[in-house]
């Protein structure tokens, strides 16, 4: 199991903790952000392939910020995949 604690940039959430195992998302936890939305995104991510989620979420924008909590989750998942493959 590979764990990453990521500090998002340009969004309301302050930290994203992810765990993956063999490329599959096992756990996602957001600290801060829009509570209902981040909980929903986290629940939808569990059990899916990290690479699939990265492609799906990477360009999601929140109110013209150029990023979003889902897009920042994609960054966290990319870091976790790179760590797992190292």
- Taking only the tens place, the pLDDT of each residue in 34-54 is 999 999 999 999 999 999 999
**CATH 3.30.450 for domain 2-85:** no
pLDDT band at 16 (very low <50, low <70, confident <90, very high): very high
CA 43 to chain CA centroid, Å, is 11
- Its pTM stands at 0.96
Contact residues for 71 (Cβ-Cβ < 8 A; gap 6+): 57, 58, 59, 60, 61, 62
Euclidean distance between CA atoms 18 and 27, whole angstroms: 5
Three-state secondary-structure class, residue 74:
helix
Beta bridge pairs of residue 3: 19
């Amino acid at each position: 199991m590979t764990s990453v604690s990521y500090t998002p940039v340009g969004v309301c959430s302050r930290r994203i903790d992810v765990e993956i195992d063999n490329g599959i998302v096992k756990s996602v936890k957001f600290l801060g952000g829009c509570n209902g939305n981040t909980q929903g995104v986290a629940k939808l991510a569990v059990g899916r392939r990290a690479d699939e989620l990265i492609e799906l979420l990477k360009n999601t924008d929140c109110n013209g910020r150029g990023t979003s909590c889902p897009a920042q989750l994609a960054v966290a998942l990319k870091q976790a995949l790179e760590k797992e493959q190292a």
